[in-house]
Amino acid sequence: MKKCKSLIAVLLAACMLVSCGAKATITIPADIAKNMSTMDVGTKNMKYESRTNNSDGSITYEITVDEQQDILEKIRDTFDKAVPEMQHDPIKSIYYDKDFTSFKISTSSTSLTIAESVLLIVFYIYGAVYQIYEGKTDPQIVVEYVNVDSGNVIKRIDSEEIRKQFTDKF
């Protein structure tokens, strides 16, 4: 039994040492990096181990896993606090998954208002930034507007369509 406890203690210590030094790689895609300042993509106050300006225009950061988790928590907290401010008539509720890949907006509208349409950009930015800090290089986001009375989908748009709209406009 003592050997088992000793082995467990050694394994736990080894895991702690490994996790303390664990690194995460974050790559800001070129299309975002070229259109946004360092402050806009949340890297101004980030404590990074290294930064690489890639030939394709993207920027790669190496950070600790702890720093990565702190950033992800701040993004979640900020969005959680913003949701109640977005929920005003005609928007009845906003659902989003923990990975910021899917957003479902219940509305009393039968077609999107300008305010509801603008929120699409907010959901896309939060989803993309969150997923980038998770280490994903190609964020995938789906935003769905549903009429609360009929249950009909008013508008469903995914990241490819959103990127195309942004690219065409800017």
Number of structural domains in the chain: 1
Q: What pLDDT is stored for residue 158 in this prediction?
A: 92
Q: What angle do CA 106, 112, 114 make, to 5 degrees?
A: 115
- The whole-angstrom separation of Cα 146 and Cα 111 is 10
* pLDDT on residue 44: 65
Residue 132 pLDDT: 93
The CATH code of the domain that includes 122 is 3.30.300
User: Which stretches of the chain drop beneath a pLDDT of 70?
Assistant: 1-21, 35-44, 165-170
Cα(130)–Cα(71) distance, rounded to whole angstroms? 9
For residue 57, is it within any domain? no
Q: Is residue 11 part of a domain?
A: no
Residue 14 forms part of a structural domain: no
For the entire predicted model, the pTM comes to: 0.78
Domain that holds residue 84: 66-169
